[in-house]
């Protein structure tokens, strides 16, 4: 199973102990901060947090306060995270690199945790946060050296979808198997990047990293198409097949390898999570056109046959 939900509260402590506990919690999650309760006689804070694969998901509620990550706190390499923050209640003021960003309920903020910054919340606030290792984003075309704090909307469009999936992932984290958690985390990262790509904040639109990211997105959007192939991908992206081959071979795989691996991950997730579907139904729904071919690839990739995963869920298997 994936991680359980952990909770931390400053209730019932002296103000000094409240600040120390909050500082310890933040350090464990993503970095060291100076904490100031402003004019509050006490500091009331509560954090619920969990992990889904290598992602950290948090729900945070805090009374008025200011937190600051300063240059003196740590080198920029010590906390290599990008934080995706959804403001769900109250107002916050964020400052980084001389820029001030005001956050209202429904706003989303993406920023580099390691760079000096501060948050001021003049009254009670609630945030839902996804903490993402930079390494996972770099694999998808993210350029950490050009990351600027970016305010987006989570009220509509891709921002709303990303927030709703992040919220659901938090609620379901404790019930996910390790393999399913990996698939959910991969999908959630892709969703979180959609509004950022639309904002054109992090991607070189003509470079190889951006083209590789576009290819990944196109493949994931068309995984269920049994005719998905490199010809279709290159035509859609406006690049040559040779260029696509080069992009994927530099990462130790072929385009076909990437497609089959992604399909197999989705198939296993469905076999583990959904009753009422035969193995053949699941395989065909994700673009496989041969049960025997699916079974061979599944065993090669996971080391077990599909029926062993299916039977583990108490489902009547098909002929695979």
pLDDT digits (tens, 9 = 90+) for 94-148: 998 777 889 999 999 999 888 888 999 999 999 999 999 888 887 776 665 557 7
C-alpha Rg value of the chain to the nearest Å: 22
pLDDT above 60 for 62: yes
pLDDT greater at residue 276 or residue 130:
130
Q: How far is CA 171 from the centre of its chain?
A: 15
pLDDT value of residue 145? 58
Structure tokens at 149: 């704090």
pLDDT value of residue 320? 47
Pairing status of strand 117-121 against strand 65-69: antiparallel
pLDDT value of residue 122? 94
Class of domain 6-198: mainly beta
Within 13 Å and on the Cβ side, how many CA atoms surround 53?
15
H helices of the chain, where?
Answer: 15-29, 134-138, 157-172, 178-198, 208-221, 230-237, 241-249, 255-273, 279-285, 291-302, 306-312
Contact 90/137 with Cβ under 8 angstroms?
A: no
Structure tokens at 205: 């639109």
pLDDT value of residue 1? 42
Q: Where are the domains of the chain?
A: 6-198, 208-312
> Taking Cα atoms as reference points, which of 219, 166, 151, 159 lies closest to residue 194?
159
CATH of domain 208-312: 1.10.10.60
pLDDT value of residue 204? 45
pTM summary value: 0.63
Mean per-residue pLDDT over the chain, rounded = 84
Q: What is the spatial distance between Cα 109 and Cα 113, in angstroms, rounded to a whole number?
A: 12
pLDDT above 50 for 172: yes
193-237 pLDDT, tens per residue?
A: 888 777 655 544 456 777 888 888 889 889 899 899 999 898 887
- The three-point CA angle 138-177-286 to 5° equals 70
pLDDT value of residue 200? 58
pLDDT value of residue 194? 83
Burial of 275 (0-12, 13-18, 19+ CB in 10 A): exposed
- The three-point CA angle 267-168-112 to 5° equals 100
CB neighbour burial string for 292-303, b if at least 16 within 10 angstroms, e if fewer: eebbebbeebbe
11-46 pLDDT, tens per residue?
A: 999 989 999 999 888 888 877 888 999 888 889 999
Instruction: Judge whether 6-198 and 208-312 match in fold.
Output: no
pLDDT value of residue 162? 93
Q: 279 vs 180, 183, 309, 315, CA distance in Å?
A: 17, 19, 10, 10
319 Cβ contact list (under 8 Å, min separation 6): 279, 280, 291
> Taking Cα atoms as reference points, which of 110, 66, 69, 116 lies closest to residue 92?
66
């Amino acid at each position: 199973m994936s991680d359980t939900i952990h909770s931390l509260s400053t209730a019932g402590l002296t103000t000094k102990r409240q600040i120390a506990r909050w500082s310890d919690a933040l350090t464990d999650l993503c970095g060291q901060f100076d904490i100031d309760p402003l004019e509050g006689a006490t500091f009331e804070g509560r954090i619920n947090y969990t992990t889904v694969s290598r992602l950290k998901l948090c729900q945070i509620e805090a009374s008025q306060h200011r937190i600051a990550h300063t240059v003196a706190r740590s080198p920029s390499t010590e906390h290599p995270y990008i934080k995706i923050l959804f403001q769900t209640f109250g107002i916050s003021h964020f400052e980084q690199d001389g820029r001030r960003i005001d956050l209202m309920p429904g706003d989303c903020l993406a920023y580099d945790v390691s760079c000096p910054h501060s948050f001021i919340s003049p009254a009670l606030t609630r945030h839902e946060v996804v903490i993402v290792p930079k390494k996972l984003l770099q694999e998808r075309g993210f350029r950490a050296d050009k990351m600027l704090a970016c305010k987006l909307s989570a009220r509509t469009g891709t921002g709303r979808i990303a927030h709703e999936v992040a919220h659901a992932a938090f609620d379901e984290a404790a019930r996910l198997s390790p393999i399913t958690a990996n698939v959910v985390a991969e999908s959630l990262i892709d969703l979180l990047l959609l509004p950022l790509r639309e904002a054109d904040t992090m991607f070189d639109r003509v470079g190889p990293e951006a083209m590789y990211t576009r290819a990944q997105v196109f493949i994931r959007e068309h995984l269920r198409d049994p005719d998905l192939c490199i010809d279709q991908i290159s035509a859609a992206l406006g690049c040559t097949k040779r260029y696509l081959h080069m992009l994927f071979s530099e990462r130790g795989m072929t385009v076909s390898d990437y497609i089959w691996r992604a399909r197999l991950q989705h198939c296993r997730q469905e076999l583990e999570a959904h009753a009422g579907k035969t193995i053949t139904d699941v395989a065909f729904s994700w673009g496989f056109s041969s049960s025997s071919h699916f079974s061979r690839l599944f065993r090669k990739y996971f080391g077990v046959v599909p029926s062993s995963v299916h039977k583990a869920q108490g489902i009547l298997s098909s002929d695979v």
